[in-house]
Chains A and B, each alone.
Chain A
Amino acid sequence: SQKIEQNSEALNIQEGKTATLTCNYTNYSPAYLQWYRQDPGRGPVFLLLIRENEKEKRKERLKVTFDTTLKQSLFHITASQPADSATYLCALVTGSARQLTFGSGTQLTVLP
């Protein structure tokens, strides 16, 4: 069966450290993968997109990697800040309709 798993429901790290979130999938062949941030009471907000032929993408303190052999994406936040605390969702894009299928999310808390 098809599954998207994000490493843990909750992750606590100290301010200034690098947060690493994992997204693993099985029985999908995604065209690309996206990461979103969701704050309480709000809709998800797009952060980064990485295509199947790309290994790594960066945007400011954010970095995403995509390994289609391992069927895994890693999402890194360097020099983390309390303002980075949120739920982070990975989403696979599949099919001609470019359907998004979301993982269950990881709730990140950056402790001051």
Chain B
Amino acid sequence: DTAVSQTPKYLVTQMGNDKSIKCEQNLGHDTMYWYKQDSKKFLKIMFSYNNKELIINETVPNRFSPKSPDKAHLNLHINSLELGDSAVYFCASSRETQYFGPGTRLLVL
């Protein structure tokens, strides 16, 4: 009974490619998030959606575009991948406290 799931778990790709990471939650939460955790383990919010509406959009390159087809899903599409995009990306959902997915480890070569 996974609460927040992400696919894929690992993603290795070449610079310049476009890739997507999918996230689904079965908790019935209205709010979902994407975070980036860098090599120093610092966890930083990227986007937040509430009821499919974008409510937080931190300073993130335009190459990153979130898409929420419904309340249970928040996908992250990344265009023209760069070396600096290598990190672990976490999806989360919340009512008051946040439930995190297992993370997607992205390595850009």
Interface residues, chain A, CB within 8 Å of chain B? 34, 36, 38, 41-46, 49, 87, 89, 97-102, 104-105
| Cross-chain pairs A/B with CB under 8 angstroms, 12 sampled | A38-B41, A43-B101, A43-B102, A44-B90, A89-B43, A97-B56, A99-B45, A99-B56, A100-B33, A101-B45, A102-B44, A105-B43
Q: What CA separation (Å) do A34 and B92 show in the bound complex? A: 15
Interface residues, chain B, CB within 8 Å of chain A? 4, 31, 33, 40-45, 48, 50, 55-56, 90, 92, 94, 96-103
**Do most interface residues of chain A lie in helix, strand or loop, or is the interface mixed?**
strand
Asked if B98 and A100 sit within 8 Å, CB to CB, the answer is: yes
**Do most interface residues of chain B lie in helix, strand or loop, or is the interface mixed?**
strand
A101: which B residues are within 8 A, CB to CB?
45
